[in-house]
Structure 1
Amino acid sequence: MGLESLPSSVGELSKLMFLRVGGYTSLPSRVLGKLMSVQDLHLGFVSINTCPNITVEVGKLTTLRTSSFVLRTRLTRVTNCWEAWEPPR
């Protein structure tokens, strides 16, 4: 059995390059955006309720090369989130 929630201390891993979170593991707020070295990110069954600013957090990951997400929410809400996303400059 996996973790119910990713520890917030993961955000302190400044050199972490690969993160795979499977199943229904919840993500603490503002952890993803701190992972500035992540190049490969795979999130399974992420709930917008547990990570409401996922597009903002992912937008901070300027070294990100590959990613996959399985979002659990209404499709219209996901569409609205992604429409607001802007790539990092």
Structure 2
Amino acid sequence: MSRAVAQALEEAARRIGRQLGEQAGPAVAGLYRWAGDGTREVVRHVEDADRAHGREIAAVAERLGGHPACAAPELPPMRREPERESRRESTQGQA
């Protein structure tokens, strides 16, 4: 292999590596953002289902006799973290 061909291949490999590095960062950030959003959505669904099931269990207990020991306690509302804006949204207005 001639020296010119070897140099051309090395330069192409450097360019490809640099481009892959530049593209990988935003792709990984997007993956983490997507996973975080999905996790928050799952938590919301679980909280909603737990609340609904609690109401159903309390109703069944009430129908079974209304004994005070069967009554569901009044639970405080679930605490939710405030929605965070994504990094992309927070930097869109900046030049």
The bucket for the TM-score relative to the shorter chain is under 0.3
More helix, by proportion = 2
Q: TM-score, normalised by structure 2?
A: 0.20
TM-score, scaled relative to structure 1: 0.21
Q: Which has the higher contact order (CA 8 A, sep 6+)?
A: 1
